[in-house]
Structure 1
Amino acid sequence: MIAAIHNAYFEAGADIIETNTFNSTTIAMADYRMESLSAEINYAAAKLARACADEWTARTPEKPRFVAGVLGPTNRTASISPDVNDPAFRNITFDQLVAAYRESTKALVEGGADLILIETVFDTLNAKAAVFAVKEEFEALGVDLPIMISGTITDASGRTLSGQTTEAFYNSLRHAEALTFGLNCALGPDELRQYVQELSRIAECYVTAHPNAGLPNAFGEYDLDADTMAKQIREWAEAGFLNIVGGCCGTTPEHIAAMSRAVAGLPPRQLPDIPVACRLSGLEPLNIGDDSLFVNVGERTNVTGSAKFKRLIKEEKYSEALDVARQQVESGAQIIDINMDEGDARRRSGDGAFPQPDCR
């Protein structure tokens, strides 16, 4: 069945297919008590996709086909507490995410994936763990495959679930030096267009977009037909937004076939000349270049520079300590210097501060 689905998309004109491993990390599989099968599932999925890609490449060697080994976002979030009464609580750690992503990456590479796609990113910290894991595993395996990253703008707010704008999200992960950076899922072409346009303006790498076939109806189905979606994608391509395009929820082989026809012969997006700058981000981007004014750094969240802050940290009065950070932001600080003597205090206070929108 999976091979038939892969082949249907290749026949429709796809150049890249994704492995069916979106939820195949040990973390996501734990809900089904199947975490012990994670490596096996990833390996089998990559091997199956590899066989399909090789068959189609043999048929049409002028159009080689590729396999993207998929790493999904997992069902946990490293930067947001699942408990509204305990902002510092986490149900997953960075190291646990790294371990899970490394295991999946190893199996995907050994199964024959041409590249690794970190997709549907809703929590940037999860994605950072994935990037770290992938690069660590590449080094261990002695390979250097391309990495693709694709985030999700969750709604009309224009932000990821963890609160970042498109540019802030890009700034957070540009260190990965990915082959492509893009957006997928949650929104249809109408809603996603402005964010793809913004990404095409700021990204130093190639840009991808995989919108849904519109927004889901009352029954959770997607109603945007293939020809209408293809016309919208063609407009994106003509505007110079895209290097790679595809589809997410609700997109069938018919949608991909229509898109393939719609963009045939159009030139891909040209990489822009991006000025050199220090590019930082919290929920919003902070780009510091030659034309920037002074940057204000708040230093009161420093145990060596503030007796009050040191006392609050020692007494574990983290809510009051957050007020110190909040006051600096309200006074114009663009960067907050959080400095602790004790490692665990740094972690706990950092976890508490990061979810607060007015402290980012």
Structure 2
Amino acid sequence: MVTDDRKKEFYEALLEKDSAYEGLFFVGVKSTGIFCRPTCPARKPKFENCEFYHTAEEALLASFRPCKRCTPLSHPNQVSELVQILVQAVEENPEKKWREQDFKELAVDESTARRQFKKRFGMTFVQYARARRMGLAMKEIRSGKPVIDAQLSSGYESGSGFRDAFSKIMRDAPASIQEDHSLKAFWIDTRVGPMIAIADEAALFLLEFVDRRGLEKEVEVLRRKTRSAIIPGKTGPIESIERELDLYFKGELTEFHTPVRLIGTPFQLKVWDKLKEIPSGETRSYTDVARDIGQPTAVRAVARANGANQLALVIPCHRVILSDGSTGGYGGGTVRKKWLLELESKSVCESK
């Protein structure tokens, strides 16, 4: 997340077209829906229309598309023809989910594409295409616009493309949504990346980082288990978690009080209840958790239940580490996990 001071610094660099900032940030322009390099020759937007990102993936996940004038995915070092072909293919059909056959039709080697994208952008081609698709499908969540407005602003004149993009996340075409059987979904920006919150009027069902692998499947499982449509909007629990996340990332909150609804097996619920007992600023190993729930041999099952948690931060699965003291895995990414643990440790020390 870019701090307010850095935003001002980056905006000055944008106005000056300062090449020293190439690769350090990208700017998303809310009025046009594109993202650019610091040295883009286009007319400069107003500060209030700018959103700054450290990586291209962050800008893509926020629903911005690459600028055709400054080609932010092809600079400062010119990329290969293969990468250019694939970027263009994604822009021609951004809601497409790529499969092996699609690469063959373009006469592109899938493994080569993966390597070149990883080297150039820090993410594989599939991650890039998914980020672009995810950004489009989440656009209406972020804006909260009526379906028809979101459809038109996304550039889908016929509506069919928009329904396809929408269904990638919600698995339900907008026209089939029933208000009396729905959950609301809302985009929340945080210091360590955007999150999606899903709730009804009584409780929070899901809180996940938007770039979490398997998020689309999580949302589909939630929709199916609750037999609900999921539509853009805000509820009391979403407003509550938004306020609490703001305080959490400021280091001013160590325990969440937003009401939640947990959907899982009896074993998973037992594990999640135990995770909630881990104090902020402390960690436990999977072995510790297994012992604490009275099933010391169920270490692997505890790890699976930990990974199945759908309420990031609220159910603090990030506080569970390996027995040797190493960080271990995390659905939101190990770098983010380390950052969260450091934040909580610092917050607890400062409160003493």
Shorter-chain TM range is under 0.3
Question: TM-score, normalized by length of structure 2?
Answer: 0.25
Question: TM-score, normalized by length of structure 1?
Answer: 0.24
Higher relative contact order (CA 8 A, sep 6+): 1
